[in-house]
Amino acid sequence: MKQLKTLVIALVLFVGSQMSAQTKVAHIDVQALMSNMPEMKTAQSQLKTIQDNYDKEYKTMVQEYQTKLQKYEQEAPTAGEAVNESRSKEMQDMGNRIQQYQQSAAKELQQKEMDLLKPILEKAQAAIQKVAAAKGFNYVLDATTGSGVLVANGTDLLADVKKELGF
């Protein structure tokens, strides 16, 4: 019985080592791949244009707020209490609108970035899968800094995937 147990354990270890020897793993820095894709440069340009428009609008709103605030502060001693209260409420509302604009602009910019990057990432993933299948890899790890891959001494697919994408 003891010999049978030992034989089973040896068989399991042998089969396990044979299966692990057949598993092929490669790595690729997806961030580096995507940053080199021509579509990424176009997307970044579009995002910069959108962000510049939001920044310009925000600065205009802040400048208007500051101008009005200075005017109201100068006129405050001669204006009546009711007028000052009305102006104070107007400035609070204006400040709230500026804050809401800033939040909505950040949210819209983030959504636009996701919309622009999704097809680029999908294209990169498809190319990675194609190259990995062609080279017989079972697993491809993302070697982007901070992705969790601590040592990447194996095969790097970056050059092959770039070639697949045509750059």
Residue ranges of domains in the chain = 24-165
pLDDT of residue 18: 52
What digits encode the pLDDT tens for the residues 91-115? 999 999 999 999 999 999 999 999 9
pLDDT of residue 14: 55
pLDDT of residue 48: 97
What digits encode the pLDDT tens for the residues 3-38? 655 654 655 555 555 555 567 888 899 999 999 999
**Which of 152, 162, 104 is CA-nearest to residue 131?**
162
136 contacts: CB under 8 Å, gap ≥ 6: 24
Range 24-165 classified under CATH 3.30.910: yes
What digits encode the pLDDT tens for the residues 27-81? 899 999 999 999 999 999 999 999 999 999 999 999 999 999 999 888 888 888 8
pLDDT of residue 13: 55
151 contacts: CB under 8 Å, gap ≥ 6: none
